[in-house]
Amino acid sequence: MKYETLENKFKTREEAIRMAVRISQCKPFIRQAINEWLETEVSPTLTVAAKPGWGNGKEWEFSAEDLMIGYGMHPLDALLFLDWLIADDESCKNALMYLDHPSTPHRLEMTQDELLAKLKPEVRKLSEALLKKRKQNYDRLERYYNEKLKGKEIYHD
């Protein structure tokens, strides 16, 4: 399955592109599992073991099923989480800390423009500068996606 198929699976093109770039950074066996899930829609059963440097030699084993059942994660989310978990020691620690303290994403019930309009001028100016920087980053990601990922297979032997 190609990266461009993700474009139909997310609410916005930006989300699909950011997700495509994130998936492209995953380890090959994680991309293989993501590819299988996209093709078959069968819940993934992948299990990984993490042995972080700060863990006094202890090894943790996590499966996509654990994350989906125990933490209510979406299958794709669970696979990305496994990739994060084994990315490096500090990320693994952060991932485990998050699992210990799950909470619902906090959102103000208003649009970005409505929120900006309510801010003090100084904060609004700083916020707009951050949003501009973020837009520039996204533009670069989009170019990268269009040129290097869009038509490429997520995983191939």
Partner 1 sequence: MIELLIGGTVVVVGGIALTVRAVQARRQQVQAMAEEMLRLYAANEIVNQEIKTVEAQQIASRVADACDIEMGKASVEVLHDFFPLGFEEKLNSLGTAGEREEFFRELINRLAAAMKVEIAEIDFKELNPNEYGKCGNKRMQLNAALFLDPASAVPATKMVHTLLHELRHAVQDEALLEGNPWGFAPSRLAEWTVSNANYVDCTQAYALQSIELDANWYASVVLDMFDKKN
Select the residue interacting with partner 1 from 5, 7, 21, 96 (CB under 8 A).
Answer: 21
Q: Is 19 in the site for partner 1 (CB under 8 A)?
A: yes
Burial of 103 per CB tally in 10 Å (0-12, 13-18, 19+): exposed
Question: Which residues in the 44-83 window bind partner 1 by CB under 8 A?
Answer: 70-74, 76-77, 80-81
Q: Is 134 in the site for partner 1 (CB under 8 A)?
A: yes
**49 or 115: whose CB is closer to partner 1?**
115
Assess contact for 104 and 82: CB atoms under 8 A: no
Q: Is 15 in the site for partner 1 (CB under 8 A)?
A: yes
Contact set with partner 1 (CB under 8 A)? 10-11, 14-15, 18-19, 21-22, 25, 70-74, 76-77, 80-81, 84, 87, 90-91, 94-95, 97-98, 100-109, 112, 115-116, 118-120, 122-123, 126-127, 129-131, 134, 137, 140-141, 143-144, 148
